[in-house]
Chains A and B, each alone.
Chain A
Amino acid sequence: MWRRRMRRLRRRVIPMMTGVGYRRELGSWIASRPAGVECMEITAEHFFADGEPLLAELARDYPLFVHGLGLSLGTPGPLDAARLEKFARVAEIAQARWVSEHIAFTRTPEGDLGHLNPVRPTRDRAALIAAHAREVAVRCGRPVILENITSHLQLRGDLGETDFLNTICDLGDCGLLLDVTNLYINSRNHGYDPSAWLGRIERGRIVQLHIVGYTCNGGRWFDGHGEPVQPELLDLAREVLAHSPVQAVILERDDNFPGDAGMESELRKLATLRAPC
């Protein structure tokens, strides 16, 4: 079932939606039904312990996508079954159109790092992540899309990063959640052309975008998730939209919230992505 839905998702050409990642700090603003919020992404872990009524309410009002932070698809061995159950329950209550996770690991058998870390780009690891993505899709009964992360490490493997992503998508029958900010940050920190990188991604794989402003400190770029979206990120997002029929663009603001007017200003920036280049 999820394979059919994934194929439909990739073929479907629908008007692109814009929205935000739901955060508790944005609750009252979102309750006011602000213009520009046409869909919403919720973080699965935020609803593991409680919040089911709120989740059901959001699902009535908006198309939802469920985003995971801690399934750790890049960790060798089986997925954490209890965590996957909670994830699937959130996806069910949210009636998620699709679910997403990261191409990353957050833990090993020796402990939890609490944050996303890069996976060595090898065929073995691509197969591992693809198998884990399939397991998530089967358990949730929904298509899975996977997100590129920022990393200050450049890891050696037998695949380049774009081949690694394409291979995972092929083997896992999944799509990509392209974080435009992460692509921009990695391209600056590691000195490559993000447009050329994008050109090597298989067309039609990118289903959803994340975008939020970056920070720059001491000659390095960071994803602080607390800054307004910069013009160069919007330019890169336009390139992505010309490359793939993206279905949703999510403003991923986690910190330094700018108030209602500030959020609406950010969403107006996303709305400009709909205009022809």
Chain B
Amino acid sequence: MLNTTATVDFTTVLARLLRDGAARDAYRANATALAEVWRVREDDLDAFLAFDPGELETQAAVLLRKRLDQVARLIPRTLAALDEGAWPVFRDYARAHWPDDDGAGYADACDFCMAIRQGRPAALCMAEWNRLRFLRGPRLAAIHLTAALPSPSRPRRALQLLFRRRNGAWREFLVYAG
């Protein structure tokens, strides 16, 4: 939790509550104590103490759903492999983790993939993981040999080739073996 000597305005404390599940737990346990720790501005104190914890959770869940929608566009096969488990796995990861915005969700998707690697490694699509790391990095080209890349019929061994032009546009080629 953040603690500063200056008072903090309402928008900032609301954002903290929406981003951080542990902060919402602390609010639910003792909102007054949290207001003191955060040094909520006096003019905003009544409104801060009037939050309905259930409404806060619902609003926070909406934000997490939006994040998941964005991540799902980047790693659809991984999400499909998680199936019904996608939302609870993402919620557990995201409730305590809010990556710095990169505008496209790459950081979130990468961090989520790392969490999946630890908890559900079989669900992680390596092609998507390779692509994400390439898109986040500065390299103009990358080559990966992967044992089980997706193909129309079955997962097959393949080379995954990624290229980026100077204008930022990128292409991907898959060369299947056998």
Which A residues lie at the B interface, using CB under 8 A? 49, 74-76, 105, 107-115, 117, 119-120, 151-157, 220, 222, 255
Additional A-B contact list (13), CB under 8 Å, known A105-B15, A113-B15, A156-B50: A105-B11, A107-B101, A110-B15, A113-B63, A117-B59, A120-B11, A120-B47, A152-B62, A153-B14, A153-B55, A154-B52, A154-B55, A222-B62
**Binary flags per residue of B46-68, CB closer than 8 Å to A gives 1, else 0:** 11001110011011001100110
Whether A152 and B55, one on each chain, are in contact in the complex, defined by CB atoms closer than 8 angstroms, is yes
Interface size class of B (residues with CB under 8 A): 20 to 34
Whether A155 and B47, one on each chain, are in contact in the complex, defined by CB atoms closer than 8 angstroms, is yes
Whether A119 and B11, one on each chain, are in contact in the complex, defined by CB atoms closer than 8 angstroms, is yes
Chain A CB within 10 Å — which of B11, B18, B56, B63 has the most?
A: B11
Can you spell out 9 A-B residue pairs with CB atoms less than 8 angstroms apart? A108-B12, A108-B15, A113-B18, A114-B101, A120-B11, A152-B58, A156-B46, A156-B47, A220-B58
Which B residues lie at the A interface, using CB under 8 A? 2, 9-12, 14-16, 18-19, 44, 46-47, 50-52, 55-56, 58-59, 62-63, 66-67, 69-70, 98, 100-101, 168
Interface SS majority for chain B: helix
User: Of the candidates B11, B52, B63, which one forms a contact with A108 in the assembled complex, judged by CB atoms under 8 Å apart?
Assistant: B11
Whether B44 and A120, one on each chain, are in contact in the complex, defined by CB atoms closer than 8 angstroms, is yes
For A151, what are the chain B residues with a Cβ–Cβ distance below 8 Å? 59
What's the least CB distance linking A176 to chain B, in Å?
A: 22
Give the docked Cα–Cα distance between A115 and B51 (Å).
Answer: 19
Whether B55 and A110, one on each chain, are in contact in the complex, defined by CB atoms closer than 8 angstroms, is no
Give the docked Cα–Cα distance between A76 and B67 (Å).
Answer: 24
Question: Which 6 A-B pairs give the minimum distances between C-beta atoms?
Answer: A112-B101, A152-B58, A156-B47, A152-B59, A108-B15, A115-B66
What's the least CB distance linking B159 to chain A, in Å?
A: 28
What's the least CB distance linking A121 to chain B, in Å?
A: 10
For B2, what are the chain A residues with a Cβ–Cβ distance below 8 Å? 110
Chain B's closest residue to A224 (CB) is: B65
What's the least CB distance linking B146 to chain A, in Å?
A: 28
Give the docked Cα–Cα distance between A214 and B147 (Å).
Answer: 43
Whether A110 and B11, one on each chain, are in contact in the complex, defined by CB atoms closer than 8 angstroms, is no
Whether A153 and B9, one on each chain, are in contact in the complex, defined by CB atoms closer than 8 angstroms, is no
Whether A76 and B11, one on each chain, are in contact in the complex, defined by CB atoms closer than 8 angstroms, is yes
For A156, what are the chain B residues with a Cβ–Cβ distance below 8 Å? 46-47, 50
For B66, what are the chain A residues with a Cβ–Cβ distance below 8 Å? 114-115
What's the least CB distance linking A146 to chain B, in Å?
A: 17
Give the docked Cα–Cα distance between A222 and B69 (Å).
Answer: 15
Whether B62 and A115, one on each chain, are in contact in the complex, defined by CB atoms closer than 8 angstroms, is yes
Give the docked Cα–Cα distance between A50 and B59 (Å).
Answer: 32
For A120, what are the chain B residues with a Cβ–Cβ distance below 8 Å? 10-11, 44, 47
